[in-house]
Structure 1
Amino acid sequence: MSGLMQYGEVRFEAHEHYQKQSYRNRCYVQTANKVEALTVPVQQGTHHQPIRELRVANDQAWQMHHWRCLQAAYGKAPFFEYYAPEFEPVYHKSWTFLFDLNYELLTICLKLMRLRVSISLTEWYDKAIPVGLFDARSTVNPRNGPETYVFHKPVAYPQNFGVDFVPNLSIIDLLFCQGPSALDVLKAGFRE
């Protein structure tokens, strides 16, 4: 989200090949006992498959698991009751494509953060990015450490569990815990 905030216009790569072990089908939330990865299962045959064509494996009850985990982790968070009605329908819908699910979640988060960003989708995959554009396709990856943060340095805010701040959780953590102040928290961590 920090990266989107710093640019007025963003082009989302809609034709890249799906990358396993990336944020494309997972996020992290803090529960009472640990940080849990919420992973959307995808159908087999993902090697060299364009992200727009990647199908969600709906034979698993991932939606119910994700929603219950969010309720348990954030049900007592200050802004859960306010924002949960925006997210809950996402977890009651059967999604065909991972890209569509991600785009819907992004749209909700941008709305709740009151961010106006012009988003367009690429029409084909370009390995080389045109001059003047910043290529962030491979910069945000769960395997990269804090030293590779391009857009922001995490700023501590009160979270639902524990006394130690846990960085790099889903934007949902920030929204449920900070509500309308979430945007200010992100801005405080901008890299110059």
Structure 2
Amino acid sequence: MPIITELFYLPPIEHFVAIHNEKMVLLDIQENYQKQTYRNRCQIRLANKVETLSIPVLGGNKKIRTELVKIDYNQKWVNVHLRGIQSAYGKAPFFEYYFPYIEEVFQKKIDLLTDFNMELLTVCLKLLQLDIKVMKLDKSDTNSESIDIRGLISAKSPFEDRNIYQPAPYSQLFGLDFVPNLSIIDLLFCVGPESSNILVKSQKNH
């Protein structure tokens, strides 16, 4: 049964918990773009705080379809994000194995936000060893069989408000307290091949 969702930037763990059991994900990129969402931001854990990495976009203030939103490369955000990821996870057990795949996408300077996010999502699914087919949602495809979770996973409300994700703690790099629902790269860099098992354990109704 396909699951319909938005396309996020290095999505939070909750998003992968939601799609983990599905064979097909349909991504709605024809929706109107929304600012201050996971579409262009993700969260990573640094030594002293949780950092939000945000991709600057062009025309995000106007009513524009997500598929038309372009990334603003006049701002030096690529180095900021890569340096942030390196300082957060450079000493993580699986960083040296997985980081080159992520870095390669950043270095392509992809024009459209959706194309950039799609490449990163494809890399993350590969590293998670999840066999999920990802397609863009065709609006004519009104399949009543689909599970629609659009609008559910929001950066503006806590995951506890939703019935998707129940954090299964894993070994993080900094601090004694476990921080849940960071970007999927936190999980990948810290536990590597065990990531998929953590996703299963994190399902609220597993």
TM-score where L is the length of structure 1: 0.93
Of the three residues 106, 131, 136, the one matched with 1:116 is 131
- Equivalents in 1 of 2:195, 2:60: separation in Å? 38
Of the three residues 166, 179, 182, the one matched with 1:166 is 179
- Equivalents in 2 of 1:11, 1:96: separation in Å? 22
Give the superposition deviation at 1:132: 2.5
Give the superposition deviation at 1:45: 4.8
- Equivalents in 2 of 1:63, 1:77: separation in Å? 21
Q: How many residues align?
A: 190
- Equivalents in 1 of 2:99, 2:116: separation in Å? 17
1:143 maps onto 2:146 in alignment:
no
Give the superposition deviation at 1:51: 0.7
- Equivalents in 1 of 2:162, 2:188: separation in Å? 21
Aligned residue number for residue 49 of structure 2: 34
**In the TM superposition, what are the counterparts of 1:33-182 in structure 2 within 5 Å?**
33-124=48-139, 130-182=143-195
Give the superposition deviation at 1:44: 2.6
Give the superposition deviation at 1:56: 0.5
CA change 1:140–1:188 in 2 (3 A) is same
| Structure 1 gap ranges (5+) | none
CA change 1:160–1:48 in 2 (3 A) is same
Q: Which runs of 4+ in 1 moved over 3 A?
A: none
Aligned residue number for residue 3 of structure 1: 18
Tell me if the contact between 1:14 and 1:124 (Cα under 8 Å) persists in the aligned partners: no
RMSD across aligned positions (CA): 1.5
Give the superposition deviation at 1:139: 0.5
